[in-house]
Structure 1
């Protein structure tokens, strides 16, 4: 007995909604019961890499079978070679819009002339009273589509590898009163040296990934934002950064080796004959505007490159008075110069997560670690109220073990240390016991856990 076929139609359609439209069509061979289900499936997921007549006819037949039945999601992914019939594609989109589609995802990748023309079509995509999510990828020219936008219920907008002018982008955001999530990835802003302003009162989640070389300055007027993920080149300026209600921020600034060399140089003296160097130092210094905008955040994640850039604007960093959890990702080729000042700017920090301990050694990180022997060693830690320290990617090297000792000695309020090892923890068990005996003699009250593959292997209590 076919137990699946005996399920109610609504359950079968829900199961089929997780398949591509082509896969749903193939289920019609199972039995007569399955032949008509494709007309009731609320999602259309059309992916093809060879735009032939037989494929276009197939899509036409599916839409004809569905008639006027409601539809929730329409995904159209086209790529490869073949001449795209723009009129038929446009008719498909018009069809699902008339049926009340709430989510449209268009991903069309091809370098033929037909796709170049396709970038200029579909203006009605931006005129839909019921659309909740819109995602456009690869080559669309948004400037030619959003001249008269009307998307009163749109909550999510994803733009990847599309072209747009700054003025049309700002008009578009203004026409989205219900927008909650915005993703900008590899945007072509068309003109060089532009100032991009992200301004929307309802926006809660903002992700920027490689905004583009042509951006000179970035501004954020997003008072309702709670999540901010920013991974891009360092802009020349961040003139406005209003994010008062931010809960979590992830900052990953992109820099090259020359930028790193400039960040480590004595940057307090600008060289008259080195204009490029001076411009880059000023550009990195302006990052403090961005950090000032996120100063109220409780949870902050910084990349290794970001920590290097922050070393230039250490003195101008704001006080992160609400910061409770700080995650710092480390790399053996990136330094911790900004670590001492950053920890001193976090008066209420309770949880510190270090994804890797190995870093490039400089004389500026000495009072946060034991890399360089100096009189103020550990000073920035003694004023820090961290209670929980998590160390990820522990490799069992001598430098790492010395740093663990250093943290246990200088963090005055440390109650728990979790060490996530990348190997069998038995290889360093004796070392850990030695540390615990030393901490016991120092009357430490820190519980240290050595973990492997997310499972607690051993636990020592001093």
Structure 2
């Protein structure tokens, strides 16, 4: 009995990936089981940031692979290889596409392409949009997709990652819509570096199969008076949404199955990303907010909470909201009166509140070092059914103890208060003792101090 025959197929395939084609052919004689296993290449990899090998040689090796071979994963990073000489970019792009076509013919499952399309216009080969085997596709960056073949179909694609890609209409057909229509089993869609205003498209994000959607803006526009963000979301089976953008106007929103959402919504950088009274005349995000009314978990930051204040009169009741996560680390002395108390009042079934940051207190000349005006009464907590409160930054200073006391006196259903503190040894013991001395409206409330 040899030493490797009992190993799982995946490990034998990995071993076989280190053999040359000639060595793999000889090895198949030793076992019938290996005949198909050693024709599977686990990973084709070219990274111009790491490898000294010439890309032309790499392509030639790929083109020389027998048609009987199969490729599981392929990663091509050609940014640095393209260089700054514009004159030969077209030739290099042609070589990239020759390699891409060859890999597609080898039945690739996972493919990632990274290049810089700003020098010369680059077009993906049509074969990419009719690949029957690919399950995970990542494309970037700075190139356009303006046309797809009429028979575009990616029947196995479940994960699609687009990094700084622009889409355009071609002959009246929206390339973005055609791409989504071709991905009939797509579950995860990420659009990173999205700039809707640079696209010429139908402004419709529609898919019946997508379950997780990530939309991430990197370059924030300096203007807010354009209608470029009139968008329709029709993703009725979406379960998770991460949305970072300027929420201008949502004509129609279908998020009926949404369970979890993470939001970073700002009006643009002109006012340091701050929302102001009167923004309701410039922005119309309420269709989006109403689309979130069935979420069970909601994660948001300070600018998004400020938006909730501006549109407080139109906010829906979040009947199913169970866990609210608020990120205050970017602005740790954020005043609770802005947004948070409104959202808590609109969440009648909220059980878990996580504050990613410190408890809020105010060091003011007139108010003193104890209680901020926004929290003098904490009346918005009296009807809150909260059971678990987590504070991720807690030092145990007198001001924090005062805030904690006022909170505990209002929350009648509280079962656990978890605080994250760097304190150790005797300092940690004192911190725990100070917390235990605080009066509580709930007899079930216990403290947990973790690092």
- Count of aligned pairs: 416
User: What is the CA RMSD across the aligned residues, in angstroms?
Assistant: 3.7
Distance 1:208 1:103 in 2: 21
Distance 1:171 1:39 in 2: 34
The aligned counterpart of 1:295 is 293
The aligned counterpart of 1:253 is 265
Q: 2:152 aligns with which of 139, 149, 152?
A: 149
The aligned counterpart of 1:345 is 346
Q: 1:161 aligns with which of 160, 164, 187?
A: 164
Measure how far apart 1:344 and its partner are. Answer: 0.9
Counterpart secondary structure, 1:138: strand
Measure how far apart 1:258 and its partner are. Answer: 5.2
1:64 aligned to 2:64?
Answer: yes
> Deviations for 1:179-233, whole angstroms, at most 9, x for unmatched residues?
111111113547479772211111111000007648422321110000111112x
Change (3 A) 1:301 1:403: same
8 Å CA contact 2:230, 2:248 repeated in 1: yes
Measure how far apart 1:293 and its partner are. Answer: 0.2
Change (3 A) 1:193 1:311: farther
Change (3 A) 1:252 1:76: same
Distance 1:156 1:451 in 2: 37
8 Å CA contact 2:138, 2:162 repeated in 1: yes
Change (3 A) 1:189 1:354: closer
Change (3 A) 1:15 1:415: farther
Distance 1:438 1:358 in 2: 16
1:371 aligned to 2:372?
Answer: yes
Q: 1:227 aligns with which of 205, 224, 240?
A: 240
The aligned counterpart of 1:123 is 126
Distance 2:49 2:380 in 1: 57
Counterpart secondary structure, 1:422: coil
Distance 1:315 1:191 in 2: 33
Distance 1:411 1:180 in 2: 40
> Deviations for 1:336-365, whole angstroms, at most 9, x for unmatched residues?
3111111011111111111113558699xx
How does the TM-score come out when normalised to structure 1? Answer: 0.78
How does the TM-score come out when normalised to structure 2? Answer: 0.80
> Deviations for 1:53-89, whole angstroms, at most 9, x for unmatched residues?
8432244225424542122222211121445533332
Distance 2:442 2:51 in 1: 73
1:354 aligned to 2:355?
Answer: yes
The aligned counterpart of 2:445 is 446
> Deviations for 1:155-198, whole angstroms, at most 9, x for unmatched residues?
22211111112632123222322111111111354747977221
Change (3 A) 1:12 1:395: farther
Distance 2:280 2:10 in 1: 61
Distance 1:342 1:360 in 2: 20
Counterpart secondary structure, 1:198: strand
Q: 1:239 aligns with which of 248, 251, 271?
A: 251
> Where does structure 1 lack aligned partners over 5 or more consecutive residues?
18-23, 268-277, 453-462
Distance 2:397 2:203 in 1: 45
Deviates more, 1:131-140 or 1:148-157: 148-157
1:104 aligned to 2:111?
Answer: yes
Measure how far apart 1:143 and its partner are. Answer: 1.1
Q: 2:313 aligns with which of 295, 305, 315?
A: 315
1:380 aligned to 2:392?
Answer: no
8 Å CA contact 1:159, 1:185 repeated in 2: yes
Counterpart secondary structure, 2:358: coil
1:424 aligned to 2:437?
Answer: no
Measure how far apart 1:127 and its partner are. Answer: 1.6
Distance 2:280 2:372 in 1: 26
